[in-house]
Homo-oligomer: A and B are copies of this chain.
Amino acid sequence: MKNSATSRTKRFWAGAAALAGVMLAGPAAAEEAASAGETMIQLAYSLDTFYFLMTGALVMWMGAGFAMLEAGLVRSKNTVEILTKNIALYAVACLMYLIAGYNIMYGPGLSSFIPGLSFFLGAEHTADAILKSGGSITHSKMADFFFQVVFVATATSIVSGAVAERMKLWSFLAFAAVMSLVIYPVGGYWHWGGGFLKALGFVDFAGSGVVHLCGASAALAGVLLLGARKGKYGPDGRAKAIPGSNLPLATLGTFILWLGWFGFNGGSELMISNIKEANAVSMVFVNTNTAAAGGLVAALLLAQFWFGKADLTMALNGALAGLVAITADPLSPSPVVSTLIGVIAGLIVVASIIFIDKAKIDDPVGALSVHGVTGTFGLLAAGLTNPGGSVLVQLTGIGAIFVWTFAASFVTWMALKKTVGIRVSEEDELAGVDLAECGLEAYPEFTRD
A446 with B205: CB separation less than 8 A: no
> Count the A residues whose beta carbon is within 8 Å of the partner chain — how many?
180
Q: Is the interface of A mostly helix, strand, loop or mixed?
A: helix
Contacts of A313 in B (CB 8 A): 440
A275 with B127: CB separation less than 8 A: yes
* A2 to B269 CA separation, bound complex (whole angstroms): 6
Given A41-B17, A309-B438, check contact A248 B134 (CB 8 Å). Answer: no
B142 with A286: CB separation less than 8 A: yes
Q: Write the A303-317 contact mask toward B (1 if CB under 8 angstroms, else 0).
A: 010011111110110
Given A4-B192, A30-B26, A445-B447, check contact A46 B134 (CB 8 Å). Answer: no
- Whether A407 sits at the interface, judged by CB under 8 Å, is no
Given A34-B20, A312-B84, check contact A278 B49 (CB 8 Å). Answer: yes
Closest beta carbon of chain B to A50's beta carbon, Å:
5
B274 with A442: CB separation less than 8 A: no
- Whether A145 sits at the interface, judged by CB under 8 Å, is yes
A17-67, CB < 8 A from B: 17-21, 23-34, 36-47, 49-54, 56-58, 60-61, 63-64, 67
A414-449, CB < 8 A from B: 437-448
Q: How many copies are assembled?
A: 3
* 28 pairs from A and B in contact (CB 8 Å cutoff): A5-B144, A8-B138, A18-B134, A21-B37, A29-B30, A39-B40, A40-B40, A43-B44, A45-B278, A46-B272, A49-B281, A50-B51, A57-B262, A61-B259, A68-B248, A71-B251, A84-B310, A84-B312, A86-B251, A87-B312, A88-B300, A91-B319, A130-B275, A169-B310, A245-B445, A308-B439, A310-B439, A446-B448
- Whether A247 sits at the interface, judged by CB under 8 Å, is yes
* A40 to B38 CA separation, bound complex (whole angstroms): 11
Which residue of chain B lies nearest to A300 when distances are taken between CB atoms in the complex?
Answer: B88
Which residue of chain B lies nearest to A79 when distances are taken between CB atoms in the complex?
Answer: B248
A270 with B12: CB separation less than 8 A: no
Closest beta carbon of chain B to A144's beta carbon, Å:
5
- Whether A95 sits at the interface, judged by CB under 8 Å, is yes
Residue among B29, B60, B279 making CB contact with A289, cutoff 8 Å: B60
- Whether A240 sits at the interface, judged by CB under 8 Å, is no
